[in-house]
Every structure is written in structure tokens, then in C-alpha cells.
Structure 1
Amino acid sequence: MNWTQLTDPLNQIALSAFVAAIPIFFIFWALAIQKMKGYKASLLTVFIAILFAVILYGMPVNLALLSTLHGALYGLFPICWIIIGAVFLYNITVQSGQFEVIKNFMASITPDRRLQGLLIAFSFGAFLEGATGFGAPIAISAAMLVGLGFNPLYAAGICLIANTAPVAFGAVGTPIIMASQVSDIPEMAISQMVGRTLPILSVIIPFYLVILMAGYKKSIEVLPAIIVSGVSFAFFQWFSSNYLGPMLPDVIAGLASIISLMVLLKYWKPKTLWRFSEEPQQTIDTELKYTTGQVVRAWSPFIIMTVMVIAWGLAPVKAALNSMGIIKFAIPGLQDAILKADGSPLVIKPFEFNYLSTPGTALLIAAIISLPFIGLSFKSGAKVYLATLNQLKFPIITIASVVGFAFIANNSGMSNTMAMALASTGVLFPFFSPMLGWLGVFLTGSDTSANALFCKLQYTSAETLGIDPVVTVSANASGGVTGKMISPQSIAIGSAAVGLVGKESDLLRFTVKHSFIMLFVICILTILQAYVITWIIPTYEMMLAATAAASDISKGFMYLLILALVIVTIALVVYVLNRNRSKEEVQTVYSKVE
């Protein structure tokens, strides 16, 4: 028996939309006002959404529960699987002590506070956002800056603002992957659209940060560094998002920005050395004490991760891995059970458990391969993995719940109701579109969760108005990044990292104005993309089930063989560099004994 969606259950679209939005109002109230934990707020939101779907929209209870289950499964796999792999890889570098090498290496490059802010808050923070996401970049970068002698408020504030540029591609592209899962627009199309918007912010932010720290005149003194930092990041963010996909823009752009700035500083130095007038005591040693071999060894897990994620993003490699293992199944009782308001069936994709070709598996394998490189046993690695699961247990519940809410809202018709109301803003809707993403990130602290909440709504609203949906779906991700710096979770992380617990309001006041300024820039860019510079919109086809050709599969296995050779080469480089160092240490000890 089929059930037909309702679009306007109260026969007054504005009132119906208001009621349909109550679960969203609730999560806002729970997080922002009641300061409820994210997983509790998310679970209660799902419960309220199910009640509204059943009572107000007349959705059968079994369909409501199955829709929520379907969404929760997508939240767990591939989204949470990717996050677990990324955080695990980061955690093994910390556990092995290699992350201390990376931190001290970064701190040793320059003593100028303006340049340290660019290097650590912007470039290194973006790299960390791409590798781990979920607050780690803010906490690590801000703590490093305080250790170097930064004013704590400025350290946290500029790290929050700098984190704007990379958030949409954070945690190996998780927000874009989520937007694709919810809207059915291909990941590559969303990646390309976001990658044609955010690089404009990426060029501006370095200059913005240095002005906040030192003022306009002192910023001009380091203008070459600002230009090199921002332009190199923006170029590689654009290139990788448009040609490689959503998983590596932050990692590649962050590394490119770091390397570009290091090369510049080898041949150019500012005329004056700038520091804060009153600085806390420096606690991080800025004298470089590491050899090239030690530095390469410390970075090796991230190098391997980058190579593997690039390989996993290639279509032939996906085809080869899927030929060895993939499970597809429809949710029993849900397939073909829901009709749209016009009587046509609602297409519900089967759940794909592509356990080999998902990026999360690439991250896990990269971390396992890296264990011997960084001096950890596999037993220690297993302990770190279990600790990572424990660390992420509440974020996992939150993400599964939020995606479950997104699916019940879509399948019940609640999203369509809100979309029709939003479509009443007419030609102005693209201007307001990024504000939904901003609101979602402010509420949840996560661009991934914001995309789960609103991307289907963005898609439906754009389609109603005749606008290309990729513009508004991408605007949700791009607008969301500007809300990260003022979300309660981010403020709490930043405050804790620099010892400002209890002074969160000071940090919020520091960042809130900049959040609105950057949001306005994204709103203007989005309405221009929708109506004026439409040539910027990528050409794409909606996601369809694809059949892999045999030639693609054989090519994929060849690529995997090349990948194995590349990893062996990296291993040999690390071994040789560190073996030479070991010989030097032995000779030094021997000469001292003599």
C-alpha cells in the first residue's frame, strides 16, 4: 500500500512551513539557549520530527521509522566511517610523538607573529581541517600560537576566523559528501561549485587576519607573504576541488600554502620584527632541532593519506574495489512505498555498503600502513583505534541522528513545505540561501550536519524557482563556513584551547562581526552565480547507478599497483633518511667516548 506526501497539511503554506520548521527551532533552542549536548538535542529533534510526520502529515509509523533508519545508516556509513579514519590517523601521529615534531617544525620557520599567524592559523589550520576537522584545527592551532607567545584572545580569535576558508572541504570532504548524499547531486559538481566560491574568501582572509592582529600599516610590511599565502592556497583549493574532487582541497592547498610561504621566507624577510606589545611567556621552543629525515617521517602519515585518497578518488580504482566487494540493498518496506504530492513515486536510493571503495577505508589503510613509519606497534595502533571510537561516540550519535532527521523531513514532505515557503521569496532566494547553511553550522557546529539538515530543502526550493540546484546546495556549504567561527561548539573549543574558559562571550564578540561580513560576501556571490555569472556553474548529471566497464576495472587494478609502488618508495625514502641520521648519532656518541 502506498502513502502520498502532503505539501500543505494546514491549507496555509506559511503556517504549514512554520509548523514543519518546529524541529529546527527546537534544535536551535536546545543548542544555543539550553546549551544541551549535541547528541541529546539531535536525538530529541529526530523524535519530534517523527511525531510531526505521523500526526501532522499522516505518515504511517513504519514509513517514518524506516525513513529515519535509512538516514541513520547513511550517517554511520560512509560519513562516520570517514571521520573515524581521519581522526584515527591524526591520533596515531600524536600518540607516537611525531606530531610534536610537526608542531615545532612549524614554529621554527619564523619568529614574526604576523607570519606565524599566517603559517599556523591559516595554512597549517587548513591542513588540519582537511585531515581531521571537527574542532581539532582550532584547538591545535590556537594552543600552538599561545605557546609561541600570542595573546590568548587573538590566538583563538584568528584561528576561528582562519578556519572559515577550509571548513566546506573539512575531514576529507565530509561536508560535500553529505550534501551529495542528501541532494543526489554528484559530489564532483558540488565540489566544483564550492571550489569556485570559497577561493575568493581564501585570498581575502590572510590579509584580514594580519590587519586584525597588527593593523593596516603593519600588514603592508608583510604584503608579499600575505599574497603568497592566500593566492597559493586559493589556487590549489580551486584546482583540487575542480579536478580531483572534494576530499583533498584542504590538505593540498594547506600544504601548498605552507611550502610557498617557507620558500618565500628563505629569500625574503620583513624589515621589522613584529610582536604583541604584551605577550605571555613563550612555551614552545622555536629552535629547529630536527633533521630532514625526522621531519619527513613525522609528515609521512599525511603524505600517505594524500596519495591514497587521490587514488581512491579515481573512477577506475573505485570500479576495481567495488568488483571485489560491495553490498547494495533496499530498505524493506520503504522502496516504492511513498508517492509525491503529484502522484509520482518518490525515488529512494538503495543503501550502498561499498566497504572497500569508500574514502574511509583509504584513510584506515593509510593509518595502518603508517604505524611502522612512526614507530608504533600494531598493538598500540589497535589501542589508539579503540580510543578514537570512544572519543567519537557522541559525534557519531549526533551525525546519525541529524541525517536521520534529514531523511524523515524529506520523505514526509516537511522539506517540500518549507521549500515552497522559501520559494515565495522569489528571485531573492539565492541571496538568502547561504543563510540557511550559516544557521545550520551555528546550531550544530558542523558544516556536515548543516548540509544534512538543509541541502534537500535548498535543492527543492531552487528547483521550484527554476534555479540550478547546485548553486543553492553549494551555497549551503559555502555559507555554512562563515557560521563556524561563532558556533557555541567552536567558541567552547577555542576558549578551552587557550585558557579562556568562562570568557567565551569575549571570544564571541571578537568573531561575530566578521562572521556577518563574510556571510554577506557569500550571499552576494551566490545571487551573482544564480543570475549573472551563470557560466561559472559546472555541467553535471544527477546521480544514477553506474555499471563499471571491464576496462575500467583492469585499469583500476593497474592504478592500485602503481599506488603500492609509490607507498613503497615513500617508505624507502623515510628509511634511508632516518638510517643516515642514526649512523650520524652513533658516530657522534663514539667520538665522545674516545
Structure 2
Amino acid sequence: MYTQVLEHFGSLGLTALVAALPLLVLFILLGVLRMTAWKASLVALVVSLVVAVAVYSMPVGQALLSGTLGAVFGFFPILWIVINAIWVYNMTVETGHFDVLQRSFARVSSDQRIQAVIIAFCFGALLEALAGFGTPVAITSVMLIALGLSPMKSAVVALVANTAPVAFGALAAPITALSTTSGLSVADLGAMTGRQTPVLAVFVPLVLVFLVDGKRGVRATLPATLACGFTFAITQYLASNFLSVPLTDIVAALFSAGAVVAVLRVWSPSEPYTVEHARAAAAAEDAADGGLPVAGGVTTSTRTDVLPETRANVLRAYAPYLVIIVVFSLAQIPAIKSALGSVTEKFGWPGLDVRDPAGKALSLQTFKFDWLAAAGTLLLISGLITIPLLGISPARALARYGSTYVQLKFAIITVMSVLALAYVMNASGQTASLGLFLAGAGGLFALIAPVLGWLGVAVTGSDTSANTLFGALQVSAANQVGMSPVLAAAANGAGGVLGKMISPQNLAIAAGAVGLAGKEGDIFRKVVGWSLGFLAFMCVLVYLQSTPVLGWMVV
């Protein structure tokens, strides 16, 4: 048995500095030395193990066991979701229906900037609502390449877009996890989060257009982007406060897409940004980045013919995503949900016995194997249903399934390594030391509460995991400084969404999807500024919500 001690060297500040070493090493290797993500994450994992054993006096066996648990959790349920989601996408590419889907999007608007907003923000939000855990980044980044954007720009746009919807992602799994760890109700936490992330959502479509076409593009597309952002924000607020927390992003995604389509019926950009503009910009960007390939290593169709855009083919192109919506919606029906969960197994990780400073066993050492109810399994079922709808043979579908693992091999190593690192830091007490240090800010805690969530997601790649990690700590610190516990807990999730784009897990998924494996450091440098900028904005918002200035927004 190992019992955590959170302060060493007689100083919490010095302890926190040492505890941060694995994260510092990880981000320096990625952002400064440009090491590939899978190598950087393995090095950082070794550093976390050394700190756990040498500084926190964690037995070697317990440290290694916590790492193996994290690695397994990285594969199931997280990679299990991503792999099956990418497999469904790859089948649409193989059959040519992905091209039909692209042409269908193009009919909404020929302007690449608006298409990028619809795909990365609206469609990405829908994927986040249904599956989460990197799925929208993986799928939308490849769809953006088909628009003519470079692999690098596609990855950056997809990562930045995957922010505002994340707090309610995967049918509000982050909110549910936050409720479990904080002891606060899902309704209150959902309502409070729905008064934070919508403010962010207003600006994200504008930023996406800026990434595609700079200031000129922002000015040229304002009616569409403002309609998208404000509609998403208002709908996210209304749904989370008055309708249903799990359905929040589904409703917001559909309404925001509908708002863009409605605007385009009466208005269109005076200076359209066509596929030729996008490809010219992509060529220039690729040259500046050292000649990166336009198509990267993205899965491409083996078909030599082009599917005609008949009504039947359009329906087949949309069918996989409609099937996913139906399957996930049916899975939420109480009777079906109960049946799926009836075979779930929960068990303590063999040999792992870790206690917090109060002597209570950590919940992280319990592994939940919900093999039938897991989102990844539901995506697998959706894929099996999709096979006959797309008209792909079982043999070709199976071949694509195998090639998906090959395509994501480095992302798999990265995600498992990063989750192993996160579990070692959590089990040894390194993360808790960092949290306690930040919680000692007193009255300024409201200003840095979102930083905890941001830090948690940057490490784990998951807002759900970050809420599990810091939810209770946020409530405890809030009670000590006289801050609303609901506000502090919600700030954890709202700040966490901004760490998503710099998480090595998501960087690896994006790089693997667009064929830029090994270029994660380059992607990191392009998104880290947006991550920090949005985080600063969220910190100020939460701080003002803790004062009379915006205190009226607190549940």
C-alpha cells in the first residue's frame, strides 16, 4: 500500500515545482525541441516515474502498476472510440461516399471559409456531442483537407474548433463525471457551464475563419460567422439550463448549422474564397513548412470512378452519421441503457493499492470495463450497420479496420503513454500537489480556477478525466475562500476545454489523421497561443462571475 504525501522538502511550492517537471519536459520536447509526440510522451512518462519514486517515495511496483492502468485506460475507452470512429470514416472514403458528402457540403456554400465553419465547428460539435475523445478532430481535420486546406491548417482549425462544445461532449460525460467527484448536481453544473462556454462559442467561428483567410476573411464572412456563433451560444445556454444537459451540444450544433444555412439563403460573401484560393494558400503554407505533402498520409479511396450525386448516394453519404445519432440516442433510453450496462464489470486494478493523505482509497484504481455500453462499442455497432448501407463488402470493411490501426499506430502509442503519465502523476500525488499549490491563491483562486481544468485536460486529453481529477479539489478550495462551489467546479470544465487543443493525445490524433505523424510539435506551436489566449479570457470571465460584476450569472 502507498499513502500519498503531498508536501516534500518542507515547501508546497517547491514540491509543486518538482511535480510539474513531467509536464514541463513534455511541452519543451514538443514545442521547443520538436520531438515527435510518441517519443516525447514516453520520455515524460519516465520522468514522472522517477519523480514518483525518488521524490514521493512511491514503491516502484505501485508506480508501474498505476502506469499500466493508465495505458489500458488510454486504449479503452478513449482509443476504442477514436479507432472505430475513424474506421467508419475510412469506409466512406473507400466507397467514394465521402466525396459525395463533400460535394453536398459544397452546395451549401462554395466559400471554403464558411464550409470550414460548418464542418469544423457545427459538424465537429455534433461529433463531440455523440462521441467526444478526439473523434471530431480526427474526422473533421480530414474533411477540411478535401476542401483544399493544407494538412497543417486542417489540423489547427479542427483543434481550435474543438473547444466550446467539449464541456458537454459525449452526451455530457464531463458534467456527469464532475457531479460524481464534486457531489454537486448535474443540473446545477450543466446550467453554470452553460453560462460560461457559450461566451467562448461566439468567438470561435470568427477565429476559424481568421485561421483560414486572415482578417480579410473575417470581415467578408461576418453575417454567417456571427449567426453561427450567437446561435450556438444561445442554444447551448437554453438547452443546458432549461432542456437537457446531455442533449445540449446536439441541439446547439444542429441549430447553429441551420442558422448558417438560413443566412446563406439571403446573403453570400462578396469576395468568395474558392477551392483554388485554398489550394494556393495550402501550397504556400506547405512550402513555408518545409514541403509537407498536400495529401499527407490520409486514407484515400481505391475507386477510380466518381460516384454520381444522386439522391440515393447522398443518403448513403449521410447514413453513417445518421446511424450514429440513432444508435447513441437509443442507447440513452433507460431500458436499453440499463441492458447495455448490465454486463459492465468494475474491478480494482490487480496489485494497485493507493490511498490519499486521509487514508481513503483512490477511485482511479478501479477499472470500469463497460465493453457493451462504451461509446467506442456503439460506434463499432454503428459501423457494422453502415456496411450494407454503404454497399461495401465485409472483406473490404475488415481490411479498412486493420488499416485504421496502422494509420493510427503512433497516435495509439502517444495516447497510451500520456494516460500512463497522467495516472502516475495522479496516483503518486504529483497532480494533487500542483492543485493544492494553485488553490492557495486565496481570493484570487477564482482567477486561476480554470487553469486547473486546463492543466488536467492538457495532460489527459479529456475534460471528463480533468473533472474527475480536480472536481473535488475545486469545491474544497472554493469553500475555503468563500467562492461558489458550483462556479469553481464548472470553471474546471470550462477551462479544461481550452487545454484540449494542446493535449499530446489530441495532437497525435490530429497529426495521425492528416498524415503529419511526427509533426505534432509544429502543430503545438500553432495552437498554443490560441489555447493560452482563450484561457486568459475564461479566467477573467470566471473571476468576474465570482464578484458582483457578473455574480448574477451564477446558479
When the two structures are superposed, what TM-score results if normalisation uses the length of structure 2?
0.77
TM-aligned CA deviation for residue 189 of structure 1: 7.1
Give 1:421-570 correspondences, 5 Å limit. Answer: 421-438=437-454, 447-448=461-462, 452=465, 456-457=469-470, 459-460=472-473, 462-466=475-479, 471-472=487-488, 474-482=490-498, 514-530=530-546
Is the Cα–Cα contact under 8 Å of residues 160 and 494 in structure 1 kept in the other structure? no
Distance 1:492 1:10, change over 3 A: same
Query: Is 2:6 aligned against 1:11?
Result: no
Cα distance per residue 1:429-450 (max 9 Å; x no partner): 2322333555666x66x742x7
Paired residue type of 2:68: L
Structure 1 residues without counterparts, runs of 5 or longer: 539-594
- The percent identity for this pair of structures is 35
Is the Cα–Cα contact under 8 Å of residues 99 and 298 in structure 1 kept in the other structure? yes
Give 1:390-405 correspondences, 5 Å limit. Answer: 390-405=406-421
State the Cα RMSD in Å: 4.4
- Matched with 2:290 is none
Secondary structure (helix, strand or coil) at the match of 1:85 reads: helix
- Matched with 1:279 is 277
Cα distance per residue 1:37-95 (max 9 Å; x no partner): 32333333333323322232222333323333333333332222222222222222222
Is the Cα–Cα contact under 8 Å of residues 119 and 258 in structure 1 kept in the other structure? yes
- 1: CA distance, partners of 2:30 / 2:363: 33
TM-aligned CA deviation for residue 100 of structure 1: 0.7
- Matched with 1:290 is 309
Distance 1:387 1:256, change over 3 A: farther
Is the Cα–Cα contact under 8 Å of residues 66 and 365 in structure 2 kept in the other structure? no
Distance 1:21 1:170, change over 3 A: same
Residue 326 (structure 1) aligned to one of 344, 364, 368: 344
- 2: CA distance, partners of 1:274 / 1:496: 28
Question: Bigger shift: 223-232 or 489-498?
Answer: 489-498
Cα distance per residue 1:358-397 (max 9 Å; x no partner): 2221111111101111111222222222222233333333
Query: Is 2:331 aligned against 1:312?
Result: yes
Structure 2 residues without counterparts, runs of 5 or longer: 283-306
- 2: CA distance, partners of 1:492 / 1:44: 19
TM-aligned CA deviation for residue 227 of structure 1: 3.9
Is the Cα–Cα contact under 8 Å of residues 83 and 171 in structure 1 kept in the other structure? no
Paired residue type of 1:350: T
- Matched with 1:592 is none
Cα distance per residue 1:295-351 (max 9 Å; x no partner): 22211110110121122234442212223x2222222343xx444334455456632
- 2: CA distance, partners of 1:319 / 1:152: 42
- Relative contact order (alpha carbons < 8 A, sep ≥ 6): 1 or 2 greater? 2
CA radius of gyration, larger in: 1
- Matched with 1:37 is 36
Question: Bigger shift: 371-380 or 163-172?
Answer: 163-172
Distance 1:38 1:380, change over 3 A: same
- 2: CA distance, partners of 1:344 / 1:40: 35
Question: Bigger shift: 426-435 or 343-352?
Answer: 343-352
Give 1:53-64 correspondences, 5 Å limit. Answer: 53-64=52-63
Give 1:174-253 correspondences, 5 Å limit. Answer: 193-209=192-208, 223-238=222-237, 253=252
- Matched with 1:561 is none
TM-aligned CA deviation for residue 403 of structure 1: 2.6
When the two structures are superposed, what TM-score results if normalisation uses the length of structure 1?
0.72
Paired residue type of 2:435: A
Is the Cα–Cα contact under 8 Å of residues 9 and 16 in structure 1 kept in the other structure? yes
TM-aligned CA deviation for residue 181 of structure 1: 9.0
Is the Cα–Cα contact under 8 Å of residues 173 and 464 in structure 2 kept in the other structure? no
Distance 1:153 1:5, change over 3 A: closer
Secondary structure (helix, strand or coil) at the match of 1:520 reads: helix
Paired residue type of 1:523: C
Question: Bigger shift: 521-530 or 188-197?
Answer: 188-197
- Matched with 1:92 is 91
Is the Cα–Cα contact under 8 Å of residues 447 and 477 in structure 1 kept in the other structure? no
Secondary structure (helix, strand or coil) at the match of 1:351 reads: strand
- Matched with 1:73 is 72
Is the Cα–Cα contact under 8 Å of residues 174 and 467 in structure 2 kept in the other structure? no
Is the Cα–Cα contact under 8 Å of residues 415 and 508 in structure 2 kept in the other structure? no
Distance 1:28 1:214, change over 3 A: closer
- Matched with 1:146 is 148
Distance 1:340 1:105, change over 3 A: closer
Query: Is 2:386 aligned against 1:370?
Result: yes
- Matched with 2:267 is 269
